[in-house]
Amino acid sequence: MLDFARTAEAIGATSSTLEKSRLLADYLRRLPPDDLRRAAIYMSGQPYGRAERRTLNLGWAAIGKVVGRLSRRPPEELNGLFLKHSDLGDWTFDALSEATHPAATSMAEVAAALEEIRTARTAAAKQQLLEALLDRLDPLAAKYVVKVLSFELRIGLQEGLVEAALASAFEVPLATVRRIHMLTGDIGETAVRCRAGELADTRITLFQPIRFMLATAVETPEEAFQRMQTEVVWTEEKYDGVRCQLHSSGGRCELFSRELKETSEAFPEIVEAGLGLIHEVLLDGEVLAHDGTQVLPFFELQRRLGRKVVSSALRAEVPLVFVAFDLLYLDGDVVMDRPLEERRRLMEELGMKPPFLLARLETARDPEHLDRIFAETRDRGNEGLMVKDPHSPYSPGRRGMSWLKLKRPLATLDVVVTAVEWGHGKRRGVLSDYTFAVREAETGQLLNVGKAYTGLTDAEIATMTEFFLANTVADYGRSRLVEPNTVIEVAFDSIQRSARHRSGFALRFPRIVRLREDKPVAEIDTLARVRELHERYFARLIPLAQVAEVSEE
Ligand code: AMP
């Protein structure tokens, strides 16, 4: 394990992606198959491969408690160390320095210990096992075990780089590595197949999620046509629900989220309907909340997310549909390489019934036509339009030019910063997370409507950190209330009702566009403006008939 940790450390120390990939390839090439499988998975910042579908159920708080106990350091010191890093792994390294009893520990032994932790019944037993494991490790190895457990190595190594390293380590074309990865959905399995030269017979395995195809954002209909370079483009509504992959075969049906996690439990009625399909399929689509005639706003769907058990009351209150827009596998055949046109035809021939619907499809001949369709979809209250190349294959995990998204350009809001927090990862040591408010015109009260993390340059963040330190009203450790005198402009995806903020609203995915030093706090946007935008764009119900159609009709 120490070898792994040293390699990871060296990868983190260089900023050159080429060098990172070379270091990783040199390391992976030396490993026997079992270690290779583990190392590829751990280097991607996961304790288990996706195909294994296992979770440890060990949160930051539990890991923190174990490290704290093992370190035998006083809480103040531990807190101080944590603030320095804001990264669980880096903190572990400092906290455990000279505190453990290192003995040579192989990656197989670490994997076995993780398996014991996974199967332990109680939280206390899990923590005890983790403590025993960390105690056997050198602090550097412990640092990387903790990073793997917290799902982030933070050494600048994305899965794409692990793929590149595998290609170079085993002299396999990168495109082949990607294809194997896409089909197996598991970087560990990919590594082992590359090493063994098993490159040809990788097929789709149902019930192993495949990475989702993604879309590139474009600003205008003209740009969409330029990028796509086809005679006509296909358009589909851009539904504001959650992405979902459905696998169904032989009395088994499972659903997977955009992160490739199984979500069958959250959407039992979709699973039940999937069991009724007579074909063996892998469908890509979007789950939406609807009440029989209308699509409900996203916040209704949110009530159904992340649940293990869905009560019948909630099922009745927030019913669901699955709007299918792609078909990757049908009755034993991988169809994802066939043109979208053909996949759509096959999907229409499936004769699916509600709750299955097909994405509403229209063909656009030129930019003016596309613009008209775009305006119509926005009038129906949708967030935008997907533009697809009818001749294109399905490309898992890629954000290419075959799928584009045209989104409604939204008004931005000018808001004031009311509280700030220390950042994580690259942003540790600076105050980078801003909570912000709008003004209630009648009372002048500031009411929070969201929290944004990104958008400013490093230099701006550094300057603002100094500024906020000097303008702190109350220091709560991680967060600080600041004097509300910094105006920023924020963009966002939507506005939803929220009980979390006193304003009653929350911006979804807010991003800081710029600092508005020119704008006095008295002139920031008001709660009334937020309410108006919400009503105009996000509260309206969309009639189902206009959103999607059933193939039979
Ligand atoms: P974005 O999240 O803005 O990158 O947009 C891509 C997301 O739009 C996808 O991941 C889907 O969840 C969603 N989406 C909604 N409607 C469609 C559609 N007709 N085709 C593909 N993706 C869609």
Quick one: 251 and 347 in the same domain? Answer: yes
| CATH number, residue 509 | 2.40.50.140
| Alpha carbon distance 532, 502 (integer Å) | 17
Q: Is residue 74 part of a domain?
A: yes
pLDDT at 408: 67
Residues 474 and 337 in one domain: no
State residue 396's pLDDT score: 85
Query: How close is the Cα of 306 to the center of ligand 1, in Å?
Result: 19
pLDDT at 546: 47
Strands 320-330 and 356-359: parallel
86 and 428 Cβ atoms separated by less than 8 Å: yes
Nearest alpha-carbon partner for 219 in 412, 389, 454, 385: 385
* 170 falls within a domain: no
DSSP 293: S
Catalytic residue positions, numbered = 238
Tokens of 541: 């119900």
**Nearest residue by C-alpha to atom 10 in ligand 1:** 243
- Ligand 1: does its nearest atom lie under 6 Å from the Cβ of 238? yes
Give yes or no: residues 418 and 377 share one domain.
no
Report the nearest atom of ligand 1 relative to the CA of 403: 21
253, amino acid identity: C
Answer yes or no: do 130 and 78 share one domain. Answer: yes
pLDDT for residue 457: 86
Atom of ligand 1 nearest to the CA of 359: 19
Based on the fold, state whether residues 421 and 490 are members of the same structural domain: yes
Q: Which CATH number fits the domain that encloses residue 348?
A: 3.30.470.30
- Between the CA of 232 and the centroid of ligand 1 the distance, in Å, is 20
For the full predicted model, state whether its pTM sits above 0.85: no
* Residue 376 and residue 325 in one domain: yes
Q: What is the pLDDT along the chain (553 residues), one digit of tens a residue?
A: 999 999 999 999 999 999 999 999 999 999 999 999 999 999 999 999 877 778 888 888 899 999 999 999 998 898 888 877 777 899 999 999 999 999 999 999 999 999 999 999 999 999 999 999 999 999 999 999 999 998 888 888 888 899 999 999 999 999 999 888 888 888 999 999 999 998 876 677 899 888 899 999 888 899 999 999 899 999 999 988 899 999 999 999 999 998 888 999 999 999 999 999 999 999 999 999 988 788 887 778 888 887 889 999 999 999 999 999 999 999 999 899 899 999 999 999 999 999 999 999 999 999 999 999 998 887 777 778 999 999 999 988 778 899 999 986 667 899 999 999 999 888 889 999 999 999 998 888 899 999 998 778 888 999 999 999 998 888 888 889 998 999 999 999 889 888 888 899 999 889 998 888 878 888 899 999 899 888 877 776 655 544 554 433 3
Burial class (CB in 10 A: 0-12, 13-18, 19+), 483: middle
**Same structural domain for residues 404 and 418?**
no
Contacts 24+ apart (CB under 8 A), 164-169: 164/21, 165/20, 165/21, 165/22, 165/24, 165/25, 165/28, 166/25, 166/28, 166/40, 166/190, 166/191, 166/194, 167/194, 168/21, 168/22, 168/25, 169/24, 169/25, 169/26, 169/28, 169/29, 169/194, 169/195
**Co-location of 362 and 458 in the same domain:** no
Residues 385 and 270 in one domain: yes
508 lines ligand 1 (CB under 6 A): no
| Domain-ending residue, one of 149, 184, 199 | 149
Would the CB of 215 count as within 6 Å of ligand 1? Answer: yes
